[in-house]
Structure 1
């Protein structure tokens, strides 16, 4: 497993409960290393550089004798690394990431929205300027804002700015923000997108284990809270829901790219017409994937079975609705900010807390990671804003 944060901890617990040995490879301090289900942890200097990450993976394989083990990535850049270097890795490992052809369409949002447009999948109006001078001719005349300015490839922007996107309320402010974003990510790597109204509470996701373009395990959720609230880096409070309207566009997208593996497609419902618009496609486990096990579908373990036994479920299995997941380490401080800003009622927020069925890190069966994360909170806040 490459990455040992709460997402990686969920993978370790999923596999460890079934007696599958787990090794964590990470360039950060993370709670998974304290889990009873992790047999070995290897700290490495850098996982963001391809050559350094490949060398670290090979070195760990020699030290721990991991021939034939599955590689589970938890970050987008690691997904891309494994997909691009599948041929180098497969003699020793089983790579759980999809092919590079499929990953590229998810990783690069220019390709994501181009594919969505070709398939007739609803998505926000999007423009790709080379720089601020293109905006007047490129952006539709009736688009007055608000807009979202964001990178085509998140990693080229996020590690420099610490955010996923910038909001621009008016068209006359757009050029300055695009110029600033282009200086970070480079010409042609910035997207200008119409902001779908409705706030973060109108965000939904279709999560699945996919084999050869066909979903075999599915979970649909409402991402009720996220951190930060408007352009969330991560969900903080999520509930499974029955949302069949997401099935057809998601299945169409996944079949078109011949997807294979775990995936999350993020949507936002547009209150102007009630339609769900595709925002992102994440070619990996998503942060709240452990909600699946609580709701009846254990995604990392099912992926392990599919890769080692060639035995996916005989028919598509789905999670049951009404199950809730929370990550208190980010949900609580984010709620404090929202209450102070007047966008969240304290009483409404407090009433949701007893309804959570599973917590991202806390577990009575595996308690040490929670204490370890509590000790790490100052480090995590500085390192990546939790």
Structure 2
């Protein structure tokens, strides 16, 4: 290992909400755990993949929904910090956790329990909001798809009368997925009639963004992962191409490749510098071949689930960069390892089948990878993989069992005298 880490400072994976099959958390536990850094994690129960990693010192079972009062969540984190007994680097895996840490930074840092990058308290919430990000892009001259933010059904009708279809509807705030979302993820709308029919169910205050549709035949999906220090400078920055996602073209990354893109890296670095953000970022960009511009779709102010796709020649990923920086170590320089591939085993097969049917290909994806990083399977830590399989299979098995029981009961009733 060409760099020295502080093994007296552990890491804590912080998550809010119920999503036990999160490979990003497992990746962070392995990344720092392999360096000998003690790792802790908030988990939904004791049988999540993260909880069973060999590199985890302790799982703090703390089921949350994201609907709790912030004060309760902060106190829960402080209790965990007291149980760990020494300062720990916080690693949020979702927007709710990143926003909570930023907006209650003074309280969380007050007891000396946690280490984390300090950003302007309201900035992560703006970045996680579709409307907030859109406004920041306009303010700083960063290309982004044109969008409208209707506040009433009348606004939707006015938009429908003049809009160029198709358009895309998304929930305006990332937090809406914890409540009752207006739309179930990214929804492509083909015309005014379809839009008005959907809007009828959005209530008096639609919490949606109506966004310009970028045709996938004329676009490429790019990702940027980076860590920005207290000066908003990136000691670690990586670029790549998203080849497949699940659901197709609009969901979580299922397969991606490392591809050097200096132009995109510079665009991302300039934007983050202007807004003054510090910490790990996961950015989704779409290159629009019609006008030759990269357009920012999402700014996740925390580590992305696929961050282990990227590693420098010095062995640095964004999680290691943050730990080194926050513990006063220098982050070694190094080019990103080229042509690496990342595959999420449980979602890439259905994604692959769907993309083959659609005929879509990503022009910049390498013909072959020099190495593949799997989201779940690792020779030195296989329990998370098998736990993932068990949790994926179990719901289907339970459904089949109940269906068999119902069928058997019906047959017995039919033959009963």
TM-score, normalized by length of structure 2? 0.80
- 2-structure distance, mates of 1:380, 1:306: 42
Per-residue CA shift, 1:262-288, capped at 9, x if unaligned? 002211111322321110101010011
Task: Indicate the residue corresponding to 2:188 in structure 1.
Answer: 167
SS in 2 for 1:215: coil
Tell me, in whole angstroms, the C-alpha distance in 2 between the residues paired with 1:263 and 1:176.
36
User: Unmatched 5+ residue regions in structure 2?
Assistant: 1-12, 361-365, 398-417
Deviation at 1:110, TM superposition (A): 0.9
Distance 1:110 1:77 in 2: 16
Give the 3 Å change call, closer, same or farther, for CA 238–103 of structure 1 in structure 2.
same
Alignment of 1:34-73 (within 5 A): 34-46=52-64, 48=66, 49=68, 50-65=70-85, 67-73=86-92
State the partner residue of 2:232. 213
Q: Would the alpha carbon gap of residues 157 and 36 (structure 1) be closer, same or farther in structure 2, given more than 3 Å must change? A: closer
1:280 alignment partner, one of 294, 298, 302: 298
Query: Which residue does the alignment assign to 1:119?
Result: 140
Contact 1:97–1:284 under 8 Å retained in 2: no
> Could you tell me how far apart the structure 1 residues matched to 2:179 and 2:145 are?
25
Larger Cα Rg: Structure 1 or Structure 2? 2
Tell whether the 8 Å contact from 2:227 to 2:236 is kept in structure 1 after alignment: yes
Deviation at 1:222, TM superposition (A): 0.2
Aligned partners of 2:297, 2:178: CA distance in 1, in Å? 17
Task: Give me the whole-angstrom Cα distance separating, in 2, the residues matched to 1:59 and 1:156.
Answer: 27
What is the total number of aligned residue pairs between the two structures? 368
What is the rounded CA distance, in whole Å, between the counterparts of 2:370 and 2:198 in structure 1?
Answer: 41
> Which of 302, 305, 321 in structure 1 is aligned with 2:324?
305
How far residue 173 of structure 1 moved from its aligned partner, in angstroms, is 2.2
Correspondence for 1:348: none
Structure 2 equivalent of residue 144 of structure 1: 164
| 1:374 aligns to 2:389 (yes or no) | yes
Q: TM-score, normalised by structure 1?
A: 0.86
Instruction: Call closer, same or farther: CA 1:353–1:155 in 2, change over 3 Å.
Output: farther
Q: Distance in 1 between matches of 2:173 and 2:198?
A: 17
Residue 59 of structure 1 deviates from its aligned partner by: 2.6
Structure 2 counterparts to residues 242-257 of structure 1, below 5 A: 242-257=260-275
Q: CA deviation at 1:114?
A: 0.8
Q: Distance in 2 between matches of 1:266 and 1:94?
A: 27
Q: Is the 8 A contact 2:222 2:240 kept in 1?
A: yes
SS of equivalent to 1:90? helix
Q: Secondary structure at the match of 1:81?
A: helix
Aligned partners of 2:394 and 2:100: how far apart in 1? 26
Alignment of structure 1 residues 1-386 onto 2, 5 Å: 1-3=13-15, 5-27=22-44, 29-46=47-64, 48=66, 49=68, 50-65=70-85, 67-91=86-110, 92-96=113-117, 98-138=119-159, 141=162, 143-157=163-177, 160-161=180-181, 163-180=184-201, 182-183=202-203, 187=205, 189-198=207-216, 202-211=220-229, 212-232=231-251, 234-293=252-311, 296-309=315-328, 311-313=330-332, 317-339=334-356, 342-344=357-359, 357-378=372-393
Change (3 A) 1:134 1:32: same
User: Contact 2:199 / 2:206 at 8 angstroms: preserved in 1?
Assistant: no
Cα displacement (A) at 1:75: 0.9
Q: Deviations over 1:175-198 (max 9, x none)?
A: 232343x33xx7263111011111
Tell me the SS of whatever aligns to 1:202. strand
Deviation at 1:139, TM superposition (A): 6.4
Aligned mates of 2:152, 2:160 — CA distance in 1: 12
8 A Cα contact 1:200 1:229, kept in partner = no
Distance in 2 between the 1:381 and 1:204 partners? Answer: 34
The change in CA–CA distance for 1:380 and 1:156 in structure 2 (over 3 A counts) is farther
Q: CA deviation at 1:47?
A: 5.0
